[in-house]
Amino acid sequence: MGVLLEHLPELWQGLIVTFQLTAASFAGAAVLGVLVCALRVSPVGVLRALGTAYVETLQNLPLLVLLVLAFFGLPEIGIKAEPLVTAIVVIAVYEAAYIGEALRSGVNSVSKGQGEAARAIGLTFGQSLRHVVLPQALRTVVQPIGNIFIATTMNTALAGAISVVDLTASAQRVNLVEAQPIPIFVGAGVAYGLIAAAAGFVTGRLERRLVILR
């Protein structure tokens, strides 16, 4: 326990980086995820295929591989970014596939009549998605999206592989000196657990408020 207090500044700094990574990459994933979902449910075949390809590719590759590939591979073709930026972009792109799929399940839960009614009053595809379908879809997938948020938090621990010093990496650095893995990693684990619990609490409350009883 003493070892945690002694190294609180470093661990705290790591926790802040974990927060930054989670917040920024989740925000990016949310925006991209809506786009992916729109592609997946689009009436145009080519766009649907594009959406499917995106989801299938990213869901079938380990995030660690994507991170290392982007970090070491892209500079070879002249694209070089800071480690933190690389991590945020890669995690956002990766999680967007999952958010897109969660949203699509929400879209599928919106009854067909809603879409038909939207078309009948002359809304375009984009308009009916924005004003009729997505708002209802979002309300049904609060919990799955919350779970993806939690998964994103845990996945940020992989950013250490490309030299981002997040909570996990800073715990490793502290342990290197102190050689007390059990208190150090239990401490870090508790921090991740608290983030997940908070996210679970918020989504639980949101879901009860927003749920549509059909």
Partner 1 sequence: MKRFVAVAAVSLLALTACGESSSPAVPGATSPQSDVLAKAPVATVAEILPGSTMEKIKQRGELLVGGSLDAPLLSQQNPATGEVEGFDAQMGKALAKYILGEPKVKIVNSASETREALLANGTVDVVFQTYTITEERAKQVAFAGPYYTSGLTIAVKKGTTGIAKPEDLNGKKVLAGANTPAIPAIKKLAPQAEIITFGSDPECIQALKQDRGVAYVQDETILIADAKKDPSIEIVTKPFTVDPYGIGLKHGDDQMKTFVNDWLKKMQDGGVWQEIWKTSIGTVVTGDAPAPPQIGSVPGS
User: Could you list the residues that contact partner 1 (CB under 8 A)?
Assistant: 68, 72, 75, 80, 83, 160-163, 165, 169, 172-173, 175-182, 185
Per the CB < 8 A criterion, the answer to whether 143 and 167 are in contact is no
Nearer to partner 1, 43 or 78 (CB): 78
Nearer to partner 1, 182 or 213 (CB): 182
**φ, ψ at 190 (rounded to 5°):** -60, -40
Nearer to partner 1, 80 or 131 (CB): 80
Nearest-approach distance from CB 179 to partner 1, in angstroms:
4
Query: HSE-up of 15 (CA within 13 Å, CB side)?
Result: 15
In terms of DSSP H, where are the helices of 1-111? 2-6, 8-40, 45-59, 63-68, 83-109
CA distance 97 to 130: 20
Nearest-approach distance from CB 6 to partner 1, in angstroms:
12
Print burial letters for 129-144: b (CB count within 10 Å at least 16), e (below 16): beebbbebbbbbbbeb
Helix/strand/coil percentages in the chain, nearest 5:
85, 0, 15
Nearer to partner 1, 83 or 144 (CB): 83
Nearer to partner 1, 64 or 202 (CB): 64
Length of the chain: 214
Nearer to partner 1, 68 or 206 (CB): 68
Distance from chain centroid for Cα 159: 14
Position 203, amino acid: T
Burial class (CB in 10 A: 0-12, 13-18, 19+), 162: middle
Nearest-approach distance from CB 176 to partner 1, in angstroms:
5
CA distance 76 to 152: 28
